DNA sequence: ATGGTTGTTTAACAA
């Protein structure tokens, strides 16, 4: 059985999307103001038509609209706050009805939606990281993470079958055994605990979502999108996790033309600890 | 080996 070619992209520019296809990239940028130059680098390498950012760490009145407009993103929606979290949708093609969504009785800037050409609903989500202790009774941050995923599950269950949709973002959970560098060693580590994996599976099934990465690159192919800053040589130790996801509704799955993980971005100057993940799709 | 690094904001958090 032949394995699909690796989705990892190092430094070469990505090939252009097929005719009529749009390129959508999701990236936890870990401060949009600090890394505006890296957005320019991403644009040069990948030319995204739509770019979803997480962890912008930027209040809306300080969002770098001018610099992003200069990079060709004529349509921009920022939903951020001071210091923490924050999501943004940037686009070269028109987006309709951009809006924030709130969960768990908080307004902590973790979810934005918009409508793409072709009537595709786009959701950009930043799931709470969850702190260090994987016990909701002992750790409020972990409880918030589970509550947030449960709230998402309820949203998608309620939505039902209602047209094409794409969900992207830093979901902060690596669901498969080969989504982490060591399944056994991470069973007790927040991001890969069985309770989180089960919760994320429930969220995915509630929306009928297809996990594009795994649809195209099934296990046991290893797929990572995040490498900790704490490992000196990330490439040598390769202790990665697949925390960043692109999900699509079943009707869109056949319209996905390409999938890439821009692993080379982890070596850019002053990098994010997450790398961009891309799909090309024909709406 | 119970560390390690980074960003925001200014010593402590969060990731």
Q: What is the pLDDT of residues A75-109, one digit of tens each?
A: 999 999 999 999 999 999 999 999 999 999 999 99
**How far, in Å, CA of A89 to CA of A24, rounded?**
10
Task: For residue A82, say whether its CB is under 7 Å from any atom of strand B.
Answer: yes
Give the residue whose CA sits closest to B9 at C1'.
Answer: A83
What is the full DSSP assignment across A122-175?
EEEEE-----S---TTT-HHHHHHHHHHHHHHHHHHHH-S-S-EEEEEE-----
Assigned token pair, A133: 């202790």
pLDDT (tens digit, 9 = 90+) per residue, A155-169?
999 998 789 999 999
CA of A84 to C1' of B12 (A): 14
CA of A238 to C1' of B4 (A): 15
What pLDDT does residue A1 have? 54
Q: Count Cα neighbours of A57 within 13 Å in the Cβ-side half-sphere.
A: 13
pLDDT (tens digit, 9 = 90+) per residue, A123-140?
999 999 999 999 999 999
A window 11-30: Cβ near strand B (< 7 A): 30
**How far, in Å, CA of A142 to CA of A135, rounded?**
7
Asked whether the predicted pLDDT for residue A180 surpasses 60, the reply is yes
This prediction's pTM: 0.98
Angle at A137 between CA A136 and CA A138, to 5 degrees: 95
pLDDT (tens digit, 9 = 90+) per residue, A37-47?
999 999 999 99
């Amino acid at each position: 059985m032949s394995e699909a070619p690796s989705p990892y992209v190092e430094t070469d520019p990505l090939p252009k999307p097929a005719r009529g296809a749009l390129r959508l990239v999701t990236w936890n940028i870990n401060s949009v103001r600090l890394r505006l130059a890296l957005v320019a680098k991403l644009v040069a390498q990948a030319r995204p038509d739509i770019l979803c950012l997480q962890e912008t760490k930027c209040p809306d009145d300080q969002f770098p609209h001018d610099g992003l407009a200069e990079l060709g993103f004529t349509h921009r929606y920022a939903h951020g706050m001071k210091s923490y979290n924050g999501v943004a949708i940037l686009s070269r093609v028109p987006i309709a009805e951009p809006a924030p969504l709130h969960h768990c009785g908080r307004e902590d800037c973790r979810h934005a939606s918009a409508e793409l050409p072709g009537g595709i609903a786009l959701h950009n989500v930043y799931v709470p990281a969850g702190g260090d202790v994987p016990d909701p009774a002992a750790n409020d941050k972990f409880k918030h993470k589970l509550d947030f995923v449960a709230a998402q599950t309820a949203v998608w269950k309620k939505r039902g079958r209602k047209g094409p949709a794409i969900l992207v973002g830093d979901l902060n959970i690596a669901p498969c055994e080969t989504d982490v560098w060591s399944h056994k060693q991470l069973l007790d580590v927040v991001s890969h605990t069985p309770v989180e994996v089960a919760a994320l599976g429930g969220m995915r099934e509630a929306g009928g979502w297809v996990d594009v990465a795994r649809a195209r690159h099934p296990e046991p192919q290893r797929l990572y999108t995040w490498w900790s800053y704490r490992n000196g040589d990330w490439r040598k130790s390769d202790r990665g996790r697949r925390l960043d996801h692109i999900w699509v509704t079943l009707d869109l799955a056949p319209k996905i033309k390409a999938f890439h993980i821009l692993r080379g971005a982890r070596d850019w100057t002053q990098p994010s600890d997450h790398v961009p993940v891309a799909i090309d799709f024909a709406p």
